[in-house]
Amino acid sequence: MRTLWQPGDSSVADYGQSIYSDLRFWKEDVEGSIAHARMLGATGILGNEEAGRIIDGLEQILAEGPEELPNDVEDIHAAVEFRLHELIGEVAGKLHTARSRNDQVATDAKLYLRRRLDRLAQDIKGLQAVLLAIGTEHRKTAMPGYTHFQLAQPLTLGFHYLAHFWALQRCGRRFEHAGEFLLTCPLGSAALAGTRFPIDREMTARELGFDSPAPNALDATSDRSWALDIAHATVQLDIQLSKIANELVLWSSTEFGFVLLGDPYTTGSSIMPQKRNPDVAELVRGRSSQSIGDYVAMAALVGDLPLGYHRDYQDDKPPLFAMLSRTGRLLHLISGMLGSANWNATAMKFRAAQGFSCVTELADRLAERGIPFREAHHLVADVVRASAPKGEPTTAAMRSVLGDRLTDREIKELITALSPATIISNRQSAGSTGTRAYAAQLRRAKKLHAQPGFAQIA
Ligand code: ARG
């Protein structure tokens, strides 16, 4: 293996090789070098002719693509420099004036991640679009809502999926926050303490689309907190996707029967002919845990290191890149799964009325008539006890508990008002599943979704 500083000992050199993972940001490495070479020319550190030859060579490397780069080298910086030497000869050796691989690698990674996060944002928006489509189509589809995973109150399927929409909005926002730390440019920090050459860091920062040069060379070459922030945002996203997947596993079971997943997302069993296993949802659920492992590995990696570059840092990139690939894949799979799901509105509506999940409404209605809510709650609990095991309040139970306060007619009216559809349509509070409140929420979500980025949510 060829190295930039001495002939490598092949028995150990490949241990430190990062070329294969570095190839992800080969382009950013070359672009960073072009900006650096332009600056070296503009400041007179290199002659115009020399700088021009270096820039032409680097542009040729950009045009050739990564296939022409050698891979018997330590890392991408070496690969580009060796290729440049093949193309333009000795003058290639002047490119590394006033910089180090330490500022280079941090610059490359930040540049790459800025672009990568843009693509990820599009993928998050893509899944949100699927959620909004369900939210629109199923604005009135009743389903049971759960707390403690016990039947609680009826709501709509659209409302349920809008809850995930907002969670994804926060996930998108989290990546935007992480992205803000990618806006200072390490280039020109050199190895750790800057350089004696009169470089123009403003110029390179601007050319590469950064807001400004990083203010402290030692910090700029030592800091990996931005990588950890992105990893953390990824873990949060994957946890969210795992929750969505887990619901699909449960809801596609015979016990729930709420959803039939599309064929590409289910598999048969080698022994049980009737099976439609939700393998893809299960794998999404399981794979997301790998991100937690990667995050912990990265945190441990950077955790103990004193200021100054350490080779340990090289190993933050493979787990981070793996996380980003994984989460992109998970987003697509969940989008596809939800897009192809067939919802069983009858099963959901039936279940929404069961398990006394309508009786909060009964307590509310008694409270509206002036009975203190606490007392109403006790009365309804008595109704529930007296109606068990029916699963819904019976007229007889209502009469025996509430007979001295309500007429038969009032009891009858109350019982008819306890259908999931009536309960749902009458919820008034902002942010509720109620028809009007929900329509407002859906409008707001669609408006935010149409805007670029993930606007702050109040
Ligand atoms: N391949 C190295 C990395 O990814 C580049 C920086 C090497 N610097 C050094 N002082 N050995 O971190």
Nearest to 241 by CA among 167, 323, 320: 167
pLDDT beyond 50 at 259: yes
Instruction: Work out the average pLDDT over 21-47.
Output: 98
pLDDT beyond 80 at 458: no
Distance CA 30, CA 320 (A): 21
Instruction: Work out the average pLDDT over 356-377.
Output: 92
Q: pTM here? A: 0.94
pLDDT digits (tens, 9 = 90+) for 85-133: 999 999 999 999 999 999 999 999 999 999 999 999 999 999 999 999 9
pLDDT band at residue 17 under the 50/70/90 scheme: very high
Positions marked catalytic: 148, 269
Task: Check residue 246 and give its pLDDT.
Answer: 97
Tell me the Cα Rg of the chain: 30
Task: Check residue 227 and give its pLDDT.
Answer: 98
Atom 2 of ligand 1, nearest CA residue: 314
Task: Check residue 7 and give its pLDDT.
Answer: 65
Distance between Cα 311 and ligand 1 center (Å): 6
Residues 6+ apart with CB under 8 A from 123: 328, 331, 332
pLDDT beyond 90 at 273: no
Distance between Cα 458 and ligand 1 center (Å): 42
pLDDT band at residue 398 under the 50/70/90 scheme: very high
Q: What atom in ligand 1 is closest to the CA of residue 313?
A: 12
Pocket of ligand 1, beta carbon within 6 A: 18, 75, 101-102, 105, 309, 311, 313-314
What is the distance, to the nearest Å, from the Cα of residue 109 to the centroid of all Cα atoms in its chain? 19
Tell me the pLDDT of the chain averaged across its residues. Answer: 95
Task: Check residue 268 and give its pLDDT.
Answer: 79
Pocket test for ligand 1, best of 23, 80, 105, 223 (most atoms within 8 A of CB): 105
Distance CA 337, CA 203 (A): 47
pLDDT band at residue 2 under the 50/70/90 scheme: confident
- Beta bridge partner(s), residue 2: 73
Task: Check residue 177 and give its pLDDT.
Answer: 97
Instruction: Please give the share of the chain, as a percent, with pLDDT higher than 70.
Output: 98
Task: Check residue 317 and give its pLDDT.
Answer: 97
Three-state secondary structure call for residue 396:
helix
Task: Check residue 457 and give its pLDDT.
Answer: 67
Q: What atom in ligand 1 is closest to the CA of residue 75?
A: 1
Distance between Cα 59 and ligand 1 center (Å): 23
pLDDT beyond 80 at 175: yes
- Beta bridge partner(s), residue 259: 343
Distance CA 206, CA 158 (A): 45
